[in-house]
Amino acid sequence: MLTRASLVAGQQAVLFYLDSPNLPALREHFLANGVNLSSITYPEYMSKGEVGVGDPDGYVPLIGQTG
């Protein structure tokens, strides 16, 4: 996936995006194993949903379901 990144100082300029074939099951697995991530949202570009996972460096990798 390509996207325009903000180059404003202090903002994330890299976007990490992963794909999952079963996002609800993956989210439940992560939660059961102590990984904190967002609720599933449904933006217009990812109708089957996406979640964000915060990390200690301030990045927010996103995981979406496309298929």
How would residue 3 be classed by pLDDT, with cut points 50, 70 and 90? low
Say if 6 falls within a structural domain. no
Closest C-alpha to 65, from 31, 29, 38, 41:
41
What pLDDT shows up at residue 59?
A: 80
Say if 12 falls within a structural domain. no
Q: What is the total count of domains within the chain?
A: 1
Measure Cα distances from 19 to 5, 7, 10, 36, 52 in Å.
19, 25, 27, 18, 12
Reported as a single tens digit per residue, the pLDDT across 31-63 is 999 998 999 999 998 999 999 998 877 788 899
Print the domain residue range for 32. 17-64
Q: What is the CATH number of the domain that holds 23?
A: 3.10.180.10
Say if 37 falls within a structural domain. yes
Say if 27 falls within a structural domain. yes
Say if 7 falls within a structural domain. no
